[in-house]
């Protein structure tokens, strides 16, 4: 059997093991059981193993098709969940988990076969730009779910404000770096730092959106708008990621 094919089959088996473990997490994620964190951590490690094995199969960063795109975004979301796993609110934790789980399951709707990178992807700027973008997306999803939880919590809302601000701040900082890498990739692949492409245009829109979210702190009367902005940002994010890649069509679309 071809080595790449064998490695791919192993990665698919591990994916389905993760599917089972994440499905179990729906039952223990609402509890205070100490096993909750190790189960999540162990499953994320297995997800990273899937990415690693698929990377070895194609000898490149495995973000070349729709399955790998959704799987990578789900992985980034679960890693952010690990970081904030001590949050008291079940609504926050399980809402964030639910979004990651939805993308993880949606990945299975696409072909799990290997896709070798075309020449325009074979550059270090691509391998830096895309994964970093997914972590930015996951941070902004975290802000959105914290904002939702904030509306259901009575009493101290400060922990949720901290999560919202963390998503805004670190997401925008990382996305700014990601856009620089993306511009360099664009120049290498298409000969231009900017294109009038749906993905590029919406990336600029979402950058300005979250830059605005950060600047709400400088207008005291507008601080109360941060939670609704965080929730609205989720829909801007879905348009930037899913809409342009899977609905509108873009030169950045995964195969």
- Pick the closest to residue 123 from 178, 184, 177 (CA basis): 184
Residue 145's Cβ-side half-sphere holds a number of Cα atoms within 13 Å equal to 23
Q: How confident is the model at residue 252 (pLDDT cuts 50, 70, 90)?
A: low
Reported as a single tens digit per residue, the pLDDT across 59-99 is 888 888 899 999 999 999 999 999 988 776 788 999 999 99
In the prediction, which pLDDT does 196 show? 84
Q: pLDDT at residue 255 above 60?
A: no
Cβ-proximal residues to 171 (8 Å cutoff; 6+ apart), any chain? 136, 137, 139, 140, 143, 210
Q: How confident is the model at residue 253 (pLDDT cuts 50, 70, 90)?
A: low
Least confident interval from 23-27, 149-153, 212-216, 247-251: 247-251
In the prediction, which pLDDT does 46 show? 96
Average pLDDT over residues 146-170: 90
Instruction: Count the neighbouring beta carbons within 10 Å of the beta carbon of residue 222.
Output: 14
Residue 251's Cβ-side half-sphere holds a number of Cα atoms within 13 Å equal to 13
In the prediction, which pLDDT does 251 show? 57
DSSP annotation of 87 reads -
110 contacts 207 by C-beta, under 8 angstroms: no
Q: pLDDT at residue 11 above 60?
A: yes
Query: Domain map of the chain by residue range?
Result: 3-248
| Residue located via tokens 């873009």 | 250
Find the helix packing angle between 66-83 and 36-58, rounded to 10°.
150
| Residue located via tokens 């990651």 | 100
Q: How confident is the model at residue 135 (pLDDT cuts 50, 70, 90)?
A: very high
165 contacts 215 by C-beta, under 8 angstroms: no
Reported as a single tens digit per residue, the pLDDT across 195-237 is 888 888 899 999 999 999 998 988 888 888 999 999 999 999 9
In the prediction, which pLDDT does 88 show? 67
Report the distance separating Cα 247 and Cα 255, nearest Å. 13
Q: pLDDT at residue 171 above 90?
A: yes
Report the distance separating Cα 214 and Cα 139, nearest Å. 14
Q: pLDDT at residue 1 above 60?
A: no
Report the distance separating Cα 60 and Cα 68, nearest Å. 13
| Cα angle: 54, vertex 63, 76; to 5 degrees | 95
């Amino acid at each position: 059997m071809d080595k790449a094919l064998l490695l791919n089959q192993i990665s698919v088996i591990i994916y389905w093991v993760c599917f089972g473990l994440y499905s179990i997490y729906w039952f223990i994620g609402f509890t205070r059981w100490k096993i909750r964190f190790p189960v999540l951590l162990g499953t994320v490690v297995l997800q990273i193993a899937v990415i690693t094995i698929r990377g070895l199969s194609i000898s490149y960063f495995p973000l070349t098709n729709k399955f790998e795109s959704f799987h990578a975004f789900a992985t980034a979301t679960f890693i952010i969940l690990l970081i904030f796993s001590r949050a008291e609110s079940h609504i926050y934790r399980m809402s964030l988990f639910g979004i990651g789980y939805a993308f993880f399951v949606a990945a299975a709707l696409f072909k799990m076969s290997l896709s070798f990178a075309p020449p325009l992807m074979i550059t270090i700027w691509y391998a830096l730009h895309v994964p970093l973008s997914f972590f930015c997306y996951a941070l902004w999803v975290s802000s959105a779910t914290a904002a939702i939880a904030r509306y259901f919590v009575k009493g101290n809302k400060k922990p949720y404000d901290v999560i919202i601000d963390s998503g805004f701040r670190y997401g925008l900082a990382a996305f700014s770096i990601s856009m620089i890498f993306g511009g360099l990739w664009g120049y290498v692949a298409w000969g231009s730092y900017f294109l009038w492409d749906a993905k590029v245009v919406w990336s600029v829109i979402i950058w300005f959106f979250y830059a605005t979210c950060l600047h709400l702190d400088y207008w005291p009367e507008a601080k109360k708008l941060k939670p609704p902005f965080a929730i609205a940002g989720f829909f801007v994010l879905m348009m930037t990621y899913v809409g342009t890649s899977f609905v509108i069509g873009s030169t950045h679309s995964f195969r």
